[in-house]
């Protein structure tokens, strides 16, 4: 796509056009959309949960570019499963962006939840229930800050994760605007590199390390999802190009993987 600049005062003057790369186009669209949405909804400031991962880092960086560093607040909510590296990356990001940040640990709240439900859950193993509790605790904290201070909560889920349900209702999905919810994970990485094109804003470690929700020990996204380049290719074929299972398999993707991804997309419609 091209951007054409026209002088409305003198339309006879030859118009200037400029071509943008896909990542530049998406970057500009996200900035315009965020600024417009925040203004129209009557907010001045936004709040974002910072995990140390690439999604929250890109979301925060975009918010600062669109709204200014004084209008963005980052919140770290570490648990017993949060690595020191992720905490350090979040603090470094906040400093690089020049935004205020708060650290609100959730371990005590999580233990209270577990104690409240220990009779009900007696004899049952730790599973996604306890993982989702942590996401919902964080969502509630962000919404409490929103209510108290008048912030708009920006959620940080990307298109790839939302498509297959790798997200928590009333948890990391809680907020007023899902800024990168139509941006595939592979493009999130491209955006991060674009944002860092002049200097390091997003810590390189947030870009390089394997993605993890850090909701249990030694957890990584690729434990339950294929590599993101494969996932995004299947999602584009199925969701955007309306290709069927057999067509996608003929594109060279593993049949078991294709069927599992499509099953997840269909099964998690209620989350979108």
pLDDT means per 10 residues in the chain (272 residues)?
Answer: 62 68 97 98 98 98 98 98 97 98 98 98 97 98 98 98 97 97 98 98 97 90 93 98 98 98 97 88
pLDDT score recorded for residue 222:
87
Distance of alpha carbon 97 from alpha carbon 60, whole angstroms: 8
pLDDT score recorded for residue 7:
63
Distance of alpha carbon 160 from alpha carbon 188, whole angstroms: 10
Q: Give the contacts of 128 (CB within 8 A, at least 6 positions apart).
A: none
- The crossing angle, in degrees rounded to 10, of helices 22-40 and 185-195 is 90
pLDDT score recorded for residue 18:
75
Under a CB-based contact definition with an 8 Å cutoff, are residues 174 and 49 in contact?
no
Enumerate the domain spans of the chain. 22-220, 226-271
Correct CATH for 22-220 of 3.30.420.40, 3.30.559.10, 3.40.50.300, 3.40.50.620: 3.40.50.620
pLDDT score recorded for residue 83:
95
């Amino acid at each position: 796509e091209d951007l054409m600049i026209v002088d409305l005062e003198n339309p006879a003057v030859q118009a200037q056009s400029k071509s943008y790369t896909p990542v530049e186009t998406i970057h500009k669209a996200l900035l315009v959309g965020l600024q417009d949405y925040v203004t129209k909804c009557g907010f001045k400031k936004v709040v974002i949960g910072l995990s140390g991962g690439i999604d929250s880092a890109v979301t925060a960086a975009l918010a600062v570019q669109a709204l200014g560093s004084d209008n963005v607040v980052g919140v770290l909510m570490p648990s017993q499963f949060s690595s020191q590296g992720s905490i350090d990356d979040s603090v470094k990001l906040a400093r690089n962006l020049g935004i205020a940040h708060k650290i609100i640990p959730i371990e005590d709240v999580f233990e209270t939840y577990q104690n409240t439900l220990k009779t009900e859950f007696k004899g049952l193993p730790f599973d996604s229930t306890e993982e989702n509790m942590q996401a919902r605790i964080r969502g509630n904290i962000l919404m409490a800050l929103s209510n108290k201070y008048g912030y708009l909560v920006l959620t940080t889920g990307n298109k790839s994760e939302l498509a297959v349900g790798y997200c928590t209702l009333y948890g990391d999905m809680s907020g007023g605007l899902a800024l990168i919810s139509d941006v595939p994970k592979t493009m999130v990485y491209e955006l991060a590199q674009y944002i860092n094109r002049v200097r390091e804003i997003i810590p390189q470690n947030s870009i390089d390390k394997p993605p993890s929700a850090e909701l249990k020990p030694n957890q990584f996204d690729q434990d339950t999802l294929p590599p993101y380049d494969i996932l995004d290719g299947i999602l584009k074929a199925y969701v955007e190009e309306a290709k069927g299972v057999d067509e996608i398999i003929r594109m060279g993707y593993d049949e078991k993987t294709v069927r599992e991804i499509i099953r997840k997309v269909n099964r998690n419609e209620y989350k979108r």
